[in-house]
Amino acid sequence: MLNIGNVIVVKNVDRDIYRRVKSVAALKGYTLGRALTEAMKLWLLINEATSRDYLEYLSCREKSERKLKEIQEKYGEKFKGKYVIICDGELIKICGNEDEAFMVAGKSNAKQCIIARLGEVTKEHKVEMSMGILS
């Protein structure tokens, strides 16, 4: 990006999007600068709202993981094979089967839930992502 006084030059702008913005701005009687400023303000707002929400979700997931570890240590052997539902770091229910656990979690008003099988350790998996992800 190049900034010369009042003029800002931006590289790598999608030309199709640029043309659409220019034509909608013209229809509305906006200058392109005004339309872009509004678009950038909106982008910042959406970004901020999303990230706040996302951070809240991450915090809930972390609490749930801690609780799950505690529950696995406490009840893992006793209730081996049963399903536990932990939402926002709280133990909700221990169910006999997976379908019931899904129903219970799905009805929750929580931000985040983990459905886990008691007596099982947490495993890590690698998922290959293709080049298409980056385009």
What value, to the nearest 5°, has the Cα angle with vertex 119 and ends 117 and 125? 65
Q: Can you tell me the distance from the alpha carbon of 58 to that of 72, in angstroms, rounded to the nearest whole number?
A: 21
Least Å distance between CB 112 and another protein?
5
Least Å distance between CB 95 and another protein?
13
| Residue 3 found at the interface with another protein (CB under 8 A) | no
Residues 13-42 touching another protein, rule: CB under 8 A, are: none
| Residue 50 found at the interface with another protein (CB under 8 A) | yes
User: Which one among 25, 36, 87, 95 touches another protein, defined by CB under 8 A?
Assistant: 87
Residue 112's CB is within 10 A of a number of other CB atoms, namely 20
What single DSSP character describes residue 77?
Answer: T
Burial class (CB in 10 A: 0-12, 13-18, 19+), 108: middle
- Residue 87 · residue 105 · CB < 8 Å: yes
User: Which one among 25, 36, 95, 116 touches another protein, defined by CB under 8 A?
Assistant: 116
Pick 25 or 115: Cβ nearer another protein:
115
* Footprint of another protein (CB under 8 A): 50-51, 53-54, 57, 61, 64, 68, 87, 102-103, 105-108, 110-117, 120, 122-134
